[in-house]
Amino acid sequence: MSTPELGLPMAVAAPELPARVRIYEVGARDGLQNEKATVPTEVKAEFVRRLADSGLTTIEATSFVHPKWVPQLADAEQLFPLVSDLGRSSGVHLPVLVPNERGLDRALALGARHVALFASATESFAKANLNRTVDESLAMFEPVVSRAKAGKVHVRSYISMCFGDPWEGPVPIHQVVRVCKALMDMGCDELSLGDTIGVATPGHVQTLLAELNEEGVPTSALGVHFHDTYGQALANTLAALQHGVTTVDASAGGLGGCPYAKSATGNLATEDLVWMLQGLGIDTGVDLARLTATSVWMAERLGRPSPSRTVKALSHKE
Amino acid sequence: MSTPELGLPMAVAAPELPARVRIYEVGARDGLQNEKATVPTEVKAEFVRRLADSGLTTIEATSFVHPKWVPQLADAEQLFPLVSDLGRSSGVHLPVLVPNERGLDRALALGARHVALFASATESFAKANLNRTVDESLAMFEPVVSRAKAGKVHVRSYISMCFGDPWEGPVPIHQVVRVCKALMDMGCDELSLGDTIGVATPGHVQTLLAELNEEGVPTSALGVHFHDTYGQALANTLAALQHGVTTVDASAGGLGGCPYAKSATGNLATEDLVWMLQGLGIDTGVDLARLTATSVWMAERLGRPSPSRTVKALSHKE
């Protein structure tokens, strides 16, 4: 039996969706930071290059967190110079995570032009991840944002646990809105709403987005970051697109996950997202075959198959 | 670290979605027919009972296809009497697949009140699966439908390959509409639109539904049957719900799949669907914890873990 390669879905547009979506690729940072294996710096650099070659234009490269907390990314100083030419030569944005002023100093010293903070919507996660209250962590971010903005550096902030929290259960929407507003008031350019444990559903997503708009945070400043723990990530993404969101976080091959979630399944896979967007006729600039090949290549380096359904389907040998 | 069981998503309704969805459970038939292992008849009967106990009200029980073609369901005559009391005692519907008049005879002899046909939208799959052209297979179904309807038996028809076909690529919408209309004109009560190889995306789904309405097939007669080969099943389901669809096929634990698809991932998992519907505040009558326990129990019998993300997350041991 012959089964010709389909490779791409038939494109049929749906009403009231954005014409273009920016994929914010987190595999090299959020993905690799949760890997047990230590990935050689050269392999990470090659991964970032291949992601850029597949058409991704925003690739979070690494994290300037203290190596004690994230040993997998302890080579940030060595890695960043290996890829930073991508920013100059092909206009790719290479944001890096900075947890505090010390992290910002390290990032700025290497010429980073885009940084990302990591805030929490809940007290429990702020305590677990940052050993601070939510307000203490916001106070810690304030000089980071003001110094970055003074240097014309673009600032994103992640907000973790926007929908549910493993200690606190469902997270009240007003609590998420308060943290988002504080970060916008501080001068952040962009927020990424994280469903860190993957419990969100589409109505919850649209309601949070509407409440944020109501409180003055425009959709244009909002990205979404869904985890697939309960298989909801792509449906939630569709709901966000229908609300007008045009920035979607995803991880090539579905790399990574949240160590606090009750399952190994983690980030929305970039390939599954691209399949849907391509099918909807939404432009992303990504070459799906090339991206899939990159994830297969990385999976071979990590010694385990990609959890992405699209990668599995497209790389399946008869 | 303590991670209290969340167990259920926070319910936040979304506008313009149905208040109630009927889940058409296909695990016992579509799921098990693709299993390599032969499952004992008693285990199948216990599976159907447990599915009913978890609140599912439509459970496709087995298939009266020739045992040569689907040896896994060769025990249909033995199985059906073991579960048919569920229909009488608790109002659960127990449809069975009938490929032709011979299958219908066998089903009627055992008192089946709901039958399902298996049509194809493409010539290639009609040839591969039924060894007939599409028109020849429709002609074969005609006496099955008329005799079933004369006996006041409810008739559903699956239509396979409604979006893409492994031999033909993307399937033109008018071709699907023609087959659907023919089946409705024949007297079918209900159609199930199958994305047998999992390539559909949300705009394609909504466009097909709209075209069917345009040609006189009401949404109330339409169910959707998505496969998760490219991770799109739940997003496509959301799109169908937004169009007004209230019947969704799913397979407990994500059992089964299509042997022609280029990957092992198959049916939309009932648990992942229930998580989304519960989160949207849509009534299904299903107890998610009980259903998950049923899928874990069945996975133990099959000797491999459930591919459902929700089953994995809810059954994960710390």
Angle at B279 between CA A184 and CA A214, to 5 degrees: 30
Q: Quick check: A274 contacting B, CB < 8 Å?
A: no
Q: Quick check: A161 contacting B, CB < 8 Å?
A: no
pLDDT given for residue B262 in this prediction: 46
Rg (CA), chain A: 18
CB–CB of B313 and A230 under 8 A?
A: yes
pLDDT level of residue A257 (50, 70, 90 thresholds): low
Answer yes or no: is pLDDT of A94 > 90: yes
In chain A, what is the straight-line distance between the N-terminal and C-terminal CA atoms, in Å?
10
Q: Quick check: B303 contacting A, CB < 8 Å?
A: no
Query: Considering CB atoms only, which of B200, B263, B279 is closest to A201?
Result: B279
User: Which residues of chain A lie closer than 8 angstroms to B261, CB-CB?
Assistant: 313
Å between A93 CA and nearest CA of chain B: 28
Element (H, E) at B63: strand B62-63
Q: Is A258 a catalytic residue?
A: yes
SS3 of B182-224: the string is HHHHHCCCEEEEEECCCCCCHHHHHHHHHHHHHCCCCHHHEEE
pLDDT level of residue A258 (50, 70, 90 thresholds): low
Q: Quick check: A12 contacting B, CB < 8 Å?
A: yes
| Mean pLDDT in residue range B44-48 | 98
The pLDDT tens digits for B223-239 are: 999 999 999 999 999 99
**Burial per residue of A270-300, b for 16 or more beta-carbon CB atoms within 10 angstroms, e otherwise:** bbbbbbbbbbbbbebebebeebbbbbbebbe
CB–CB of A167 and B3 under 8 A?
A: yes
pLDDT given for residue B193 in this prediction: 98
User: Which residues of chain A lie closer than 8 angstroms to B265, CB-CB?
Assistant: 309, 312-313
Interface of B with A in 13-72 (CB under 8 A): 13-14, 17
Instruction: Give whole-number Cα distances, B68 to B55, B73, B74, B96, in Å.
Output: 33, 10, 8, 17
pLDDT level of residue B47 (50, 70, 90 thresholds): very high
Q: What is the phi/psi pair of residue B267, to 5°? A: -65, 150
pLDDT given for residue A197 in this prediction: 93
d(CA B285, CA B274): 10
Query: Considering CB atoms only, which of B13, B201, B278 is closest to A9?
Result: B201
Q: Quick check: A218 contacting B, CB < 8 Å?
A: no
User: Which residues of chain B lie closer than 8 angstroms to A283, CB-CB?
Assistant: none
Answer yes or no: is pLDDT of A261 > 80: no
In chain B, which residue's Cα lies nearest the Cα of A310?
Answer: B230
Answer yes or no: is pLDDT of A282 > 70: yes
pLDDT level of residue A69 (50, 70, 90 thresholds): confident
Answer yes or no: is pLDDT of A260 > 60: no
Å between B87 CA and nearest CA of chain A: 32
Percent of chain A at pLDDT exceeding 70: 95
pLDDT given for residue A3 in this prediction: 40
Interface of B with A in 191-210 (CB under 8 A): 197-204, 206-207
Name the residue among A210, A275, A247 with its Cα closest to residue A18: A247
In chain A the domains, ranked by start, together with CATH numbers, are 23-315 (3.20.20.70)
Answer yes or no: is pLDDT of A280 > 90: yes
pLDDT level of residue A317 (50, 70, 90 thresholds): low
Å between A312 CA and nearest CA of chain B: 7
- Mean pLDDT, chain A, whole residue set: 93
Q: Quick check: B106 contacting A, CB < 8 Å?
A: no
Answer yes or no: is pLDDT of B309 > 80: yes
- Mean pLDDT, chain B, whole residue set: 93
pLDDT level of residue A265 (50, 70, 90 thresholds): low
| Mean pLDDT in residue range A57-77 | 93
Percent of chain B at pLDDT exceeding 70: 95
CB–CB of A235 and B235 under 8 A?
A: yes
Query: Considering CB atoms only, which of A203, A230, A239 is closest to B310?
Result: A230
Answer yes or no: is pLDDT of B58 > 50: yes
pLDDT level of residue A6 (50, 70, 90 thresholds): low
| Mean pLDDT in residue range B60-77 | 93
In chain A, which residue's Cα lies nearest the Cα of B279?
Answer: A201
CB–CB of B232 and A279 under 8 A?
A: yes
The pLDDT tens digits for B163-207 are: 999 999 999 999 999 999 999 999 999 999 999 999 999 999 999
User: Which residues of chain A lie closer than 8 angstroms to B202, CB-CB?
Assistant: 14, 238, 276, 279-280
CB–CB of A272 and B197 under 8 A?
A: no
User: Which residues of chain B lie closer than 8 angstroms to A11, CB-CB?
Assistant: 203
pLDDT given for residue B6 in this prediction: 62
pLDDT level of residue B265 (50, 70, 90 thresholds): low
